[in-house]
Structure 1
Amino acid sequence: MTKVFRALFAAVPIVAICAGFAFAQMGPAPVGFGHGNAMLGRLCNPTTPPFPADKVAARLTEMLKLTDAQKPALKDLEDSVAKAIEDTKSLCLEKPDMTSLPGRAAFAAKRMTVMAAAINSVQPKLEAFYNTLDDKQKAAFNEMHGPGMMRRWGHHHEQQGDDEDEPAQP
C-alpha cells in the first residue's frame, strides 16, 4: 500500500472522528428540525457548541508526541477541518422537505455531496500532516479508528451508555 493511499484512506476516519467530536458536543437535536433528522437539528442548532478543534489538536499532539516542526502541519489540518465543518453548515440554509421520501432522498444526496466536498478539502492538509510523521507516529496515527476511538481520546458520551467512571484507554 502506498503512502499516498494510506494518507487518503486516513482522511475518512479523521473526518469521522472530528464529526464524532462535533456531534457529541451538540447534545440532543432540537424539536422541529425535521422528522427523523437529528443530525440536521444538531448541526443547524444555533446553541450547538463549536467543534473543539483545539482539544483534538492537543490530544493528537500528546498521543503522537509531535515535534515543533510537525505542529504547523497539524495547525493547517486543524484549520482545514474547522472550515470543512463550517462549510457543512450550508445544509442549514434551506429547510429540506423531510415529510416525503423523495424529499428525504434529495436531502441525503445533498448531504453526501457536502460531506464529499468536506473530505476533499481536508485531504491535502491531512496528507501534508501525515507526511511529517515518522514511521512510529504513522503507525500510531493509522491505529486511530474504529470502536472505542472516542473513549481512547478521553471522550465519554452518556447517551451512548459509556461508564464515566471507567478510565480512558491509552
Structure 2
Amino acid sequence: MKTLTHAIPPLAVAFVWALAAAPAVAAPARADPAAQLDKICGAKAAAPQTEAVSGDLEKALLLSDDQKKALQAYRDAKTKAVADAKVKLCADRPDVTTFAGGLAFSENLLETRLDIVRTLDAQLLAFYNGLNTEQKTKFDQLRQQAPRRRR
C-alpha cells in the first residue's frame, strides 16, 4: 500500500501542473465561444508558468545537479507539449459559434489536455522518483499548499 500512496501524488501533480500551469491550453471560463478560442489561440495567449514554479521548487527542495536536470527535462517537455497543443487546437480554427462546432472544439480541447497529461507524466514521475524522502515530503506539502489556479 505504501507504493500506491507514493505513485498517486506524482500523477496528481502531473495532472494539476499540466492543466493549471498551462493556461494557453486550459479552458477559459464560459463566455462568448469565439472569445474563448481567441484567448487560447490568439497572439496574447498566456504562456505557461513553468519557470517560476520550477525555480520555487529548486529553492525549496535544494535540488542536486541530477535533480535539476530531471526538472529541466520536465520543463522542456512541458514547453513542447503546450506548443504542440496550441498548434493542434488552433491549426484549423473551428466555427465555435455553432453547436456542432462548439462540441467538436470541446472534444478536441479535452483530448489535447489529456495528451499533455500523458506526455508530462513520465517526466514528472522521473523527477519525483529522483527525490529523497525529505524532498518528497516537502514536495507533497508544497503541492497541497499551492493555490488552485483558474481552469
Q: TM-score range by the shorter chain?
A: 0.7 to 0.9
* 1:8-47 matches, cutoff 5 A: 8-20=11-23, 35-36=32-33, 38-47=35-44
Structure 2 counterpart of 1:43, which letter? I
Which SS does the other structure have where 1:94 is aligned? coil
Matched, 1:76 2:79: no
Shift of 1:79: 0.5
TM-score by length of 2: 0.78
* 1:157-168 matches, cutoff 5 A: none
TM-score by length of 1: 0.70
Matched, 1:140 2:143: no
Contact 1:35 1:98 in 2 (8 A): no
Q: How many residues align?
A: 142
Shift of 1:17: 3.6
Q: Give, in whole Å, the separation in 2 of the partners of 1:47 and 1:17.
A: 18
Contact 2:34 2:97 in 1 (8 A): no
Unaligned runs of 5+ in 2: none
Percent of matched pairs sharing the same residue: 29
Structure 2 counterpart of 1:88, which letter? A
Which SS does the other structure have where 1:88 is aligned? helix
Higher helix proportion, which one? 2
Listed one character per residue, the Cα deviations across residues 53-81 of structure 1 (whole Å, up to 9, x for unaligned) are: 33332122112221222101000001011
Contact 1:77 1:126 in 2 (8 A): yes
Q: Give, in whole Å, the separation in 1 of the partners of 2:111 and 2:96.
A: 18
Shift of 1:116: 0.7
How large is the RMSD of aligned CA atoms in angstroms? Answer: 2.8
Which SS does the other structure have where 1:97 is aligned? coil
Q: Give, in whole Å, the separation in 2 of the partners of 1:129 and 1:35.
A: 39
